[in-house]
Amino acid sequence: MNTQQANRLFIASCIALTVTAMTFAIRAGILGQLSESFNLTDTQLGWINAMAFLGFPVATMFGGLLYNWIGARKLILIAFVGHLLGLVLTMMADGFWLLLISSFCVGFANGSVEAGCNPLIADIYHKNKTTMLNRFHVWFPGGIVIGALVSKFMTDMGMGWELQIAIMLIPTAIYGFMMFTQKFPEAVNIENSTSANIKALFSPLFLFMVLCMTLTATTELGTQQWIERILGASGVSPMIIMAMVTGVMAVGRYFAGPLVHRLNPVGILLMSAVLSAAGIYAMSIATGGMVYVAAILFALGVTYFWPTMIGFIAEYQPKTGALGMSLIGGAGMFAVSMWNPIIGGWIDSARAAAEAQNLTGVEAELVAGQATLSNLAIFPTILIIAFAALYIYMKKQQNNNQPQTTANPAGEVL
């Protein structure tokens, strides 16, 4: 495949990921409107969010298994149809159940984008996997910036949540056109034996990384998806916070190459865990302008989590192939789907506890948000220990694999 074709596919993949991110950001921005329109509790909103995150791992599981047979093009066609169906059904929603179904469709489409595009990019840029996967994943935070600003602008202009959903049909049509007028390459630079892929999944290192991915994804996405509900009373604009956080992430991922080469993936993951824990803790005690400072610290922490986890699998567990990359992402989203109703329940419980202490309105919401952030800080704290252990293990493996040298009596290396 020539460079021009590879670059066109890369750009189309980035636009598809932008749509994925916009669904995430705009859904976060309209949670309050949905609550008012359909009289939903935060626990019910948590289940709606959960369906979007559950659809993702279902798609990546099937997409990873089928990639070797149907290829990236058909998986991205499934994503395109899923986005169209999910967005239209969301606009037609008349209550909790249709919102639940439409969210699952959108999540399934989002997972299909990852299942198709991650191995496609690892294949066409096989000599520079982690760097190019980081550049591809620039457009998750980049799309969130776009979605957050669009949501804020449209909300401030008094536009309803239906129009905010409809705006996402435009980039969906663009990536669909670009993808389906372009020739796709044969997968030649990734392991394409499904039986070999499945066997490699039972590596202790892969299973360990799957567990870690459940924590990294919840740290990043569990916090951001509830940004409007947990920071809405802290004296800042939640959508501006989201745009700022994801803007920092986009810039960081674009320039990831030098950092990857200097620290290596495991060093980056350990650094990310430390900064994420510090950032979430700082947000849990900050109000007013200091929330912006804490949010930047959080952004620096979560910037490299997702693409570096996938890049780690591509580089250190290559026999898992497209299936491994799909399942690691699916594991992260599945965890977020399971934690979303719990996070919603944390908010409801903390609010009830605050009201029992005669706090009302903004004060009760502030206390509820800060209590929820304190709970979320547990995830990156566990990751600090996990990635420190991984760093020691990988260092030991590297030392064991180095060729042994001996010296003769004259001191010359043999």
Write down the pTM of the prediction: 0.78
pLDDT at 413: 34
Angle between the 305-316 and 204-217 helix axes, to the nearest 10 degrees?
Answer: 170
pLDDT at 336: 87
Q: Where are the domains of the chain?
A: 3-397
pLDDT at 408: 45
- Alpha carbon 1 to its chain centroid, in Å, reads 29
Span 108-164, pLDDT tens digits = 999 999 989 988 988 888 877 778 888 898 898 888 888 888 888 888 888 888 899
pLDDT at 188: 64
Separation CA 139–CA 355 (nearest Å): 40
Span 96-110, pLDDT tens digits = 899 999 999 999 999
CATH homologous superfamily of 3-397: MFS general substrate transporter like domains (1.20.1250.20)
pLDDT at 410: 42
pLDDT at 187: 65
**Which residues of the chain are under the pLDDT cut of 70?**
1, 187-189, 191, 261, 402-414
pLDDT at 199: 92
SS (HEC) of 229-261:
HHHCCCCCCHHHHHHHHHHHHHHHHHCHHHHHH
